[in-house]
């Protein structure tokens, strides 16, 4: 189906390398810099080891690790236009391979952003995405403000990046596909309790959007001995699982996909062309299909009045229960004017 995991790709196939990067144990800024260099070396080494590779994807938290006490340490945060990202971009250019990387981004206006970038094979940043849905209440990141950007990628791909918990909300992958992505990347730092939902959502996000999904987590133990799960995974636009990884740290799962096949399905499918049919309901009986919005939650979200029926009973509505202070925005609103 895919040429032995990309060893023998067809001319129109994109070969993915999903890196189950070992959880880094970061104590200070020198640890971040060492990890930047290690990732750059892996980019060059992976391309040498498998020259057919078009895109290498590294997981969320690859540069800062999983110690929450590090996440708000300004000395460990990076800038997208900073020297660390330049080192990663230079490695992509040297190896002539695309790369997807995780950056915990400094934000002078508030809490940091959990950011992902896609760099092309000439070393230019083609996409910057800030995680829309931090994994609350355990993550302190500012909710992203970039929307879901899409960029042209190798072999006719249109790439989008979503991060970790983003993939649990079907609207995020749907937005990526709606904006034209035929390959949706998902990076994460998940541990094994999320394994089932990880697999289920990667499959569903592919099938409901007629898109390829390519997903990868950190792997191996953190400082407390808790393992992230690795579990790299590539799904076809029909919801089939093309390749699956395991929990082995630093294993690179490879797969060849043909982005044009997803484009063809979106054009030619009748039954189950779900992303088209969402906005063209019942086109057999209604010319062009019904184009109204029957979904209350969509209307309320647009109006700023989103409220679930059990809103008053929700227990966790900020991070104070796990040790974070009240959100800064709440404190600012509470200040007398």
Residue 306 token pair: 């989103």
Sign of the CA dihedral with 191 first, then 193, 196, and 197 last: negative
Question: How far apart, in whole angstroms, are the C-alpha atoms of residue 117 and residue 102?
Answer: 7
Q: CB under 8 Å to 110, separation ≥6 — which residues? A: 142, 328, 329
Q: Are 97 and 47 within 8 A, CB to CB?
A: yes
Whole-angstrom distance, CA of residue 324 vs CA of residue 186: 27
Say which residues have a Cβ less than 8 Å from residue 68's Cβ, sequence separation at least 6. 138, 140
Q: What is the DSSP string of 102-129?
A: EEEE--TTSSPEEEEEEE-TTS-EEEEE
Q: What angle do CA 264, 182, 257 make, to 5 degrees?
A: 80
- What is the side-by-side strand order in the sheet with 113-119? 125-130, 113-119, 98-105, 55-57, 14-19, 252-257
Distance, CA of 313 to CA of 108 (rounded, Å)? 34
Residue numbers annotated as active site: 60, 131, 164
């Amino acid at each position: 189906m895919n040429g032995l995991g990309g060893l023998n790709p067809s001319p129109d196939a994109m070969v993915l390398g999903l890196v189950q990067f070992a959880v880094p144990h970061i104590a200070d800024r020198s640890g971040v810099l060492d990890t930047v260099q290690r990732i750059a070396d892996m980019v060059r080494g992976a391309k040498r080891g498998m020259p057919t590779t078009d895109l290498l994807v590294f997981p969320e938290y690859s540069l800062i690790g999983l110690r929450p006490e590090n996440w708000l340490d300004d000395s460990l945060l990076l800038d997208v236009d900073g020297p660390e990202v330049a080192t990663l971009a230079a490695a992509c250019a040297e190896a002539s391979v695309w790369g997807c990387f995780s950056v915990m981004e400094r934000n002078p206006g508030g809490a940091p952003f959990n950011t992902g970038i896609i760099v092309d094979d000439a070393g230019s940043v083609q996409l910057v995405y800030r995680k829309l849905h931090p994994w609350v209440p355990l993550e302190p990141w500012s909710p992203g403000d970039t929307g879901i950007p899409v960029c042209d990628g190798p072999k006719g791909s249109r790439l989008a990046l979503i991060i970790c918990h983003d993939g649990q909300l079907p609207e995020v992958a749907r937005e990526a596909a709606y904006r034209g992505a035929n390959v949706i990347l998902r990076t994460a730092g998940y541990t094994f309790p999320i394994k089932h939902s990880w697999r289920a959502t990667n499959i569903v996000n592919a099938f409901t959007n007629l898109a390829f999904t390519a997903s990868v987590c950190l792997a191996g133990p953190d400082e407390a001995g808790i393992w992230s799960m690795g579990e790299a995974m590539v799904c076809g636009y029909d919801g089939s699982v093309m390749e699956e990884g395991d929990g082995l740290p630093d294993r690179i799962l490879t797969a060849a996909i043909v982005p044009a096949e997803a484009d063809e399905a979106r054009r030619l499918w009748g039954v189950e062309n779900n992303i088209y049919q969402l906005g063209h309901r019942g086109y057999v009986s209604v010319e062009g299909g019904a184009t109204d919005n029957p979904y209350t939650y969509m209307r309320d979200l647009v109006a700023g009045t989103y409220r679930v029926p059990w809103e008053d009973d929700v227990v966790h509505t900020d991070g104070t229960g796990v040790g974070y202070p009240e959100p800064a925005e709440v404190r600012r609103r509470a200040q007398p004017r």
